[in-house]
Structure formats: C-alpha cells, structure tokens
Amino acid sequence: EQKSRAIVMLNRVIEKGSVKCEKYWPSTKDETMSYEDTGFNLKLLCEDVKSYYTVRRLELQRTSTGETREIYHFHYTTWPDFGVPESPASFLNFLFKVRESGCLNSDCGPTIVHCSAGIGRSGTFSLVDTCLVLMEKRKDPSSVDIREVLLEMRKYRMGLIQTPDQLRFSYMAVIEGAKYIMGDSSVQKRWKELSNEDQEPIPGNASPPPQPPKRALPRQNENRAPHLSVGEATDAANNISTEENSVQEKEIKAKYVNNIRKRHREDRIASTAQKVQRMKQKLNETEVKRKRWLYWKPILINIAAVTTLAIGAIVCCSMYFQ
C-alpha cells in the first residue's frame, strides 16, 4: 500500500522468557509462509547473519494477482529491552547498513520500524536517524536541536525514548554520526571494526540454565556435618550475601520496569481521557452555537423584513409628496 521496501526489527522474538513478537518470516531459504486472511505469501530468498544483526531478503506475493515485491528485513538481535546497544559504533554500523540498501531514500515508501512496545528502541533508532538526516540536509550539525526534534516526534508517538540511558545513548550516537556528516569517511570503517560484526553470533533465544537443586537441610536427629573452618565459613557467608544481593537487585529492577510500564499506561489513559474531554467540549460548544443561531435566525429575518418595508414606505412617501 505505502510501497515500503524494508522492515527494521529491533527486538528478539523471545526476551527474558516471554514472547515479545510473533515470528512473521520464514526460517529457511525458499520456505514460504502463507497469510490467507490478508492474501499474501512470504518467501525467504537469502539471509546474511552477523554477530549482532541479520539481514534477510524476502519476496512478498499477492495471491490474487501474482504480483511480487522484494523487501528487506533488518533484524537487530542483541538490543536488550529498556536498554541500549553495545556501543554507538555497532548501532551506527547497523543504521548505515539500512541506509546503504536505499530503503530510507525519499523515493521509497516509509520504512517500518518496530520493537516490542514501539517507543523505546524504535524511538532511539528513529531519533538518531532523523537528526542525522537533518544535519545532512542543513550541512550544519550544530543547527539541529536533538531535544526539540524529540519533542516534535513525541507529538506523533507519545513516550518515545523510555529511559535516561536510551536518551543519553541517542546523543552519543548522533555526535558520533555527525563526524561522518562533516566529511570524515574513515569513521564508517572504524564503526565496522569496533562492532565485530563478523564474529559468531550469540544465541539470542537460548533458554536459561536450569535452577540448581534445592539443598536438603539436615534433620536434628541426624549426624551433623563437621564444623567449617573460619575461612570456609567466611567464604560461604560471602557467597550467600552475594546471592541475596543479586536477588534483591533483580527484584528492584523488576519493580522499576513494572513502575515504568504502569506509568506509561497511566499516561496513555490520561492522555486519551483528555482528548475525549476536549472533543466533547468542542461538540458542546458547536451545539450551543447552533441552537443560538436557530433561536435568533427567525427574529433577525423578521427585523430585516420590517426594516426593508419601512425604508420602502419612506421612499414611496417622499416621492409622492414631491
């Protein structure tokens, strides 16, 4: 419909043990997935797997007409939810891979960018790319106010950039990308070297290791184990303390994530309620104006008619007596 040529996916299918996104592309070459409800077939033509991203070339076919179209699927596989990429270099190397395909050119349709919620990682990608495009057009990186660009984008997608780390990373990536805009073409080669894209990819959806078996506590009537030495007891206490701290950190992080999600949900609900209230207010004002006009309309018509007749009578009398 929009003649888009690329999809940029910034999340993994499974993250932290939960499904973040359905796998909507074929797994093997020449495999075809059929979407009967929309009337499309999707086939994987080729795949280029790097250490932290994968580029796929897909063929989309409309079943009713047989029309086909090739699209790219750029999949960033190591960007954690509520987090940031490994470095600005790896992110910019990925961004320029997308650019080199020509999918972000003005003669193509809009590129689809998504993650899980569609505001954190997607917002970071969109903000950095938008700022670099503006710098390129204006030929002056200092003329681009990143904060103002983000606020303008938030008018169309509320909540873009979820965490301070994502905002800080966006600034770092824009500053690094501006070096290329200013004419330093060597930075692109350095980004590729620093990103280590040719290393073996880390399995993104590997299941976590099994939990250790529960320790059986000795009963009072059973023979107790020999006493530990002072050093062994200290080491054991340190291990237990480390485990407890790790559990506490995980609990704090989980509460923090839940609070952020709850706050965003409440913000969305409040924003929707405000919009509905404003719409109702506008409708009420329009209805009041309409009723007021209907009330005054016949009165004004009668006044105009009487005035016209009176003026006509005066003119006739003046002409008669002359």
Does residue 274 carry a pLDDT above 50?
yes
Tell me the C-alpha distance between 197 and 51, whole Å: 5
Residue 181: Cβ within 10 Å count: 21
What would the mean pLDDT of 160-185 be, rounded to a whole number?
90
Mapped onto helix, strand or coil, the DSSP state of residue 206 is: coil
Q: Is 255 exposed, middle or buried (0-12, 13-18, 19+ CB in 10 A)?
A: exposed
Tell me 15's DSSP state.
E
- 115 catalytic, yes or no? yes
Write out the two tokens for 26: 């074929």
Q: Please pick, among 21, 46, 103, 115, the residue that the annotation labels catalytic.
A: 115
Highest mean pLDDT among 110-119, 233-242, 272-281: 110-119
Instruction: Give the angle 31-65-62 at the CA atoms, nearest 5°.
Output: 40
pLDDT at position 288 is 85
Report whether 79 contacts 124 (CB < 8 A). no
pLDDT in tens, 207-265: 444 444 555 554 544 444 444 445 555 565 566 556 666 666 677 777 777 778 887 88
pLDDT value at position 223?
Answer: 47
In single-letter form, the type of residue at position 173 comes to: A
109 or 183, which is more confident?
109
pLDDT, position 71: 93
> What was the pLDDT predicted at 167?
93
pLDDT reading at 92 higher than 60: yes
224-to-52, 172, 219, 236, 268 alpha-carbon distances in Å: 51, 59, 8, 17, 59
- pLDDT band (50, 70, 90) for residue 306: very high
Tens digit of each residue's pLDDT (9 = 90 or more) over 37-48: 889 999 999 999
HSE-up of 214 (CA within 13 Å, CB side)?
A: 3
